Amino acid sequence: MCLALPYKVLSQDESGIRVDFLGKQHTIKNSLIKIKPGDFVLVQNGVIIKKVPKKEAKEILRLISKEWKKEVRK
């Protein structure tokens, strides 16, 4: 099973697209989807698959963060 996670687009240049997921930054090589800094995108296996509304991305991130905190406490 593959999981697509929401990332925030930070910047885009010839070296790739800089994105952030819960404070950790990554570079994605390219995207077929038109994006700009500030957009939220779903990323699966290092590929941007879809732009998502900010509200939806924030809710997913909130739920993921909440679950990870539970796991860390175990």
What pTM does this model have?
A: 0.84
DSSP 1-67: ----EEEEEEEEETTEEEEEETTEEEEE---SS---TT-EEEEETTEEEEEE-HHHHHHHHHHHHHH
Q: How many domains does the chain have?
A: 1
The pair phi, psi for residue 71, each rounded to 5°, is: -65, -40
Q: What range defines the domain where residue 46 resides?
A: 5-73
Give the pLDDT confidence score for residue 66 in this predicted structure: 79
pLDDT tens over the chain, length 74 residues: 678 999 999 999 988 999 999 899 999 987 788 999 999 999 999 899 999 999 999 999 998 887 766 555 55
The pair phi, psi for residue 16, each rounded to 5°, is: 145, -165
CATH number at residue 45: 2.30.30.140
Give the pLDDT confidence score for residue 74 in this predicted structure: 52
